[in-house]
């Protein structure tokens, strides 16, 4: 019987550099970096940070272009409740929530799984929620040239919950629209659809 072996791929030089810095940080905070519980922590954090920011190594535009199809469908397509995990660039603390993305095709559609992949590619970077919302919208608009794109993100920010104002139940909502979604009727239909549970 083979023992469990976890296979991970990380840049060795980056891991070593980050681990060295995190070891210094932990020591500066007053901890004993050589005690058993912390001995491997700098390396673990170095790998975790590489994973949490792996979006820098992804090209969201190419993700969409890899699965584009010609289709004469001109009604709203929505992928909602997409899990979002990102890192606030101001305090390097997580923010997390859900993204709702819609577009109205103009001769081209994209594989449905590619939209959550694009969300993740932008989210897994140092971010602010406002920029993240716009980046997702702009990428879909550029790749598909649809009749309109709508993106709404609802997120909780640990920098507001764990420190500072410490408001644990606050939720930040951002939105960004192009084309047909700038019309009140279309935008209202989108908001209604992402707000309601369809039976």
- Report the catalytic residues: 88-91, 129, 157, 159
Q: What is the pLDDT of residues 82-131, one digit of tens each?
A: 999 999 999 999 999 999 999 999 999 999 999 999 999 999 999 999 99
Residue 6's pLDDT is 53
Q: How many CB atoms are closer than 10 A to CB 175?
A: 17
Q: What is the pLDDT of residues 143-188, one digit of tens each?
A: 999 999 999 999 999 998 888 777 777 899 999 999 999 999 999 9
Pair type for strands 94-104 and 77-88: antiparallel
* Cα–Cα dist 51/86, whole Å: 11
Q: Which residues pair with 78 in a beta bridge?
A: 102
Residue 1's pLDDT is 47
Q: Which residue did the predictor score with more confidence, 3 or 141?
A: 141
Q: What is the pLDDT of residues 27-48, one digit of tens each?
A: 999 999 999 999 999 999 999 9
- DSSP helix/strand/coil, 86: strand
Average pLDDT, integer, range 129-139: 98
* Cα–Cα dist 68/106, whole Å: 12
Q: Is 139 annotated as a binding residue?
A: no
Pair type for strands 77-88 and 126-127: parallel
With a pLDDT cut of 70, the percent of the chain lying above it is 94
Residue 163's pLDDT is 82
Entry pTM = 0.91
DSSP string over 127-175: E-HHHHHHHHHHHHHHHH--SEEEEEEEEEEHHHHTSTT--TT--EEEE
- What are the structure tokens assigned to 106, written together? 């103009």
Q: What is the pLDDT of residues 1-19, one digit of tens each?
A: 455 455 567 899 999 999 9
Residue 164's pLDDT is 75
Residue 167's pLDDT is 72
* Cα–Cα dist 127/74, whole Å: 32
């Amino acid at each position: 019987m083979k023992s469990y072996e976890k296979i991970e791929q990380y840049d060795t030089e980056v891991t070593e550099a980050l681990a060295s810095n995190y070891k210094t940080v932990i020591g500066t905070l007053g901890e004993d970096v050589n005690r058993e519980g912390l001995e491997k922590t700098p390396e673990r954090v170095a790998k975790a940070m590489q994973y949490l920011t792996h979006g820098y190594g992804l090209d969201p535009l190419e993700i969409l272009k890899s699965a584009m199809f010609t289709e004469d469908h001109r009604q709203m397509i929505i992928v909602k409740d997409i899990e979002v995990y990102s890192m606030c660039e101001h305090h390097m603390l997580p923010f997390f929530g859900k993204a709702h993305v819609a577009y109205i095709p103009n001769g081209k559609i994209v594989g449905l799984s590619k939209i959550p992949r694009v969300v993740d590619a932008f989210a897994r970077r140092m971010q602010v929620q406002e920029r993240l919302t716009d980046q997702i919208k702009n990428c879909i608009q550029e790749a598909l040239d649809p009749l309109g794109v709508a993106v709404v993100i609802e997120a909780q920010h640990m920098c507001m919950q764990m420190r500072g104002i410490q408001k644990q139940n606050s939720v930040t909502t951002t939105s960004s629209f192009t084309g047909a979604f700038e019309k009140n009727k279309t935008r209202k239909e989108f908001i209604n659809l992402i707000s309601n549970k369809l039976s």
